[in-house]
């Protein structure tokens, strides 16, 4: 059920940030050196309720360490992290959080359904509530057919999806996803992105990190770029990727005469300079998904045709001559 459709800060009301990280520093001891490894170096950021925030950066730049500090799994060397105003080092801050780690680990002998039931009970649910929630989550991540299979036999994409279901089982207000689409095929990735968009519409705050920049661009409204533990750029995605001194115009069915006239207008305008004209491009990912959809539709159509042809064959009748018996 939607928690709230309109966010309080859209009406200029005071709201507590879902995530507030203040001057976070995290150092680890280095086994072979006297100096320590500084994984996170003075990171500050705030995420308002209902926002989807993407942290991007190269391997080893401090993304997972920042997330673990926010979850209270690592104690900050300096600085602080708060979740809905509660200090991350206090256990009650975690009640509001769902977490999908980088490499989720589950008990391999349990089935998907048993795993979710286990987490639901860990979160304090009992009786019918457990069953209802498990059903809802299995449907949400499309694992109903694999519910009885042991987790040990799940593929990478299935593990990622059961991990997501586990993270959402207690209906958290903040979802932290450490590379949610790692190892997932493009169709599975699309489902995960759709799910994030759906959660955002329901008012859930999402903090994620990913190496798949195109996906980050599709779902995130705020982005932070981290290098060597430092945030080097941060802000609204729209602002960060806009090329301030350029304007894009997309026209459908323009004749070559219209295009020539547009170019002439630009050539006449003071200061304006013609940069480029051409066809807008789709992404390779969209192309792949479209083709996958078409192949699915073709396969379904030929399945139907085959079933109909088999049923209609003269030999395919029972003793009474009824082809459908
Ligand atoms: N428990 C630890 N002990 C020692 N060093 C650590 C520990 N955890 C992380 N580090 C170091 O901190 C730095 C940041 O690691 P982190 O896992 O946060 O990077 P990341 O941005 O998540 O990278 P990736 O994209 O590969 O997941 C790395 O140099 C890493 O080796
Ligand atoms: Mg990481």
Closest CA to 274 of 286, 283, 265: 265
Tell me, in angstroms, the distance from the centre of ligand 1 to residue 163's CA.
21
- The reported pLDDT for the residue numbered 13 is 62
CATH code: domain of residue 35:
3.40.50.300
Domain that holds residue 20: 13-107+170-241
Question: Is residue 252 assigned to a domain?
Answer: no
Tell me, in angstroms, the distance from the centre of ligand 2 to residue 38's CA.
15
Question: Is residue 142 assigned to a domain?
Answer: no
Ligand nearest to the CA of 55: 1
Residue located nearest, by CA, to atom 27 of ligand 1: 59
pLDDT tens across the length of the chain (325 residues): 444 445 555 555 678 999 999 999 999 988 777 788 999 999 999 999 999 999 999 999 999 999 999 999 999 999 999 999 999 999 999 999 999 998 888 999 999 999 999 999 998 999 999 999 999 999 999 899 999 999 999 988 899 999 999 999 999 999 999 999 888 888 888 888 888 999 999 999 999 999 888 889 889 999 999 999 999 999 999 888 888 888 889 999 999 999 999 999 999 998 899 998 888 777 776 777 777 788 788 888 777 777 777 766 665 544 444 444 3
Cβ of 74 less than 6 Å from ligand 1: no
Question: Is residue 161 assigned to a domain?
Answer: no
Cα distances (Å, whole numbers) of residue 31 to 13, 34, 35, 37, 65: 49, 8, 9, 10, 18
Question: Is residue 295 assigned to a domain?
Answer: no
- The reported pLDDT for the residue numbered 268 is 93
Cβ of 210 less than 6 Å from ligand 1: no
Question: Is residue 297 assigned to a domain?
Answer: no
Cβ of 61 less than 6 Å from ligand 1: yes
Cβ of 224 less than 6 Å from ligand 1: no
Sheet strand arrangement including 36-47? 36-47, 19-29, 78-83, 86-87
Cβ of 191 less than 6 Å from ligand 1: no
Tell me, in angstroms, the distance from the centre of ligand 1 to residue 101's CA.
13
Looking at the structure of the chain, the number of domains it has is 1
Dist CA 88 CA 65 (whole Å): 13
Cβ of 161 less than 6 Å from ligand 1: no
Cβ of 141 less than 6 Å from ligand 1: no
Cβ of 62 less than 6 Å from ligand 1: yes
Cβ of 30 less than 6 Å from ligand 1: no
- Tens of pLDDT, residue by residue over 176-191, are 999 998 888 888 888 8
Ligand nearest to the CA of 228: 1
Dist CA 95 CA 111 (whole Å): 25
Cβ of 57 less than 6 Å from ligand 1: yes
Question: Is residue 192 assigned to a domain?
Answer: yes
Ligand nearest to the CA of 227: 1
Residue located nearest, by CA, to atom 20 of ligand 1: 60
Is 192 in contact with 167 (CB distance < 8 Å)? no
Question: Is residue 259 assigned to a domain?
Answer: no
Tell me, in angstroms, the distance from the centre of ligand 2 to residue 60's CA.
7
Question: Is residue 31 assigned to a domain?
Answer: yes
């Amino acid at each position: 059920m939607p928690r709230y459709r309109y966010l309080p800060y859209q009406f200029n009301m005071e709201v507590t940030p879902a995530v507030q990280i203040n001057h976070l520093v995290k150092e680890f001891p280095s086994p072979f050196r006297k100096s320590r490894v500084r994984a996170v170096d003075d990171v500050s950021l705030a995420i308002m309720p209902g926002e989807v925030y993407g942290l991007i950066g190269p391997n080893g730049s401090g993304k997972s360490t920042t997330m673990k500090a926010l979850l209270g799994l690592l104690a900050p060397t300096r600085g602080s992290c708060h979740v809905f105003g509660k200090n991350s080092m206090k256990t009650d801050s975690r009640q509001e959080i769902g977490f999908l780690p980088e490499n989720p680990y589950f008990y391999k002998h349990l089935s998907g359904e048993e795993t979710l039931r286990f987490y639901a009970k860990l979160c304090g649910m009992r009786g019918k509530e457990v069953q209802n929630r498990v059903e809802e989550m299995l449907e949400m991540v499309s694992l109903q057919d694999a519910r009885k299979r042991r987790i040990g036999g799940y593929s990478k994409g299935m593990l990622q999806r059961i991990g997501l279901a586990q993270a959402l089982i207690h209906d958290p207000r903040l979802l932290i996803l450490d590379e949610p689409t790692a190892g997932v095929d493009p169709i599975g990735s699309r489902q995960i992105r759709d799910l994030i968009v759906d959660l955002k519409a329901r008012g859930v705050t999402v903090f994620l990190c990913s190496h798949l920049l195109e996906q980050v661009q599709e779902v995130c409204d705020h982005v932070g770029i981290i290098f060597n533990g430092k945030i080097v750029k941060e802000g609204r995605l729209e602002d960060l990727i806009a090329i301030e001194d350029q304007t894009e115009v997309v026209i459908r069915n323009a004749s070559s005469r219209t295009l020539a006239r547009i170019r002439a207008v630009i050539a006449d305008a003071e200061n304006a300079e013609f940069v480029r004209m051409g066809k807008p491009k789709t992404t390779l990912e969209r192309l792949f998904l479209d083709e996958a959809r078409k192949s699915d539709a073709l396969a379904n159509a030929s399945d139907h045709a085959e079933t109909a042809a088999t049923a209609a064959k003269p030999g395919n009748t029972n003793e009474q001559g009824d082809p459908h018996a």
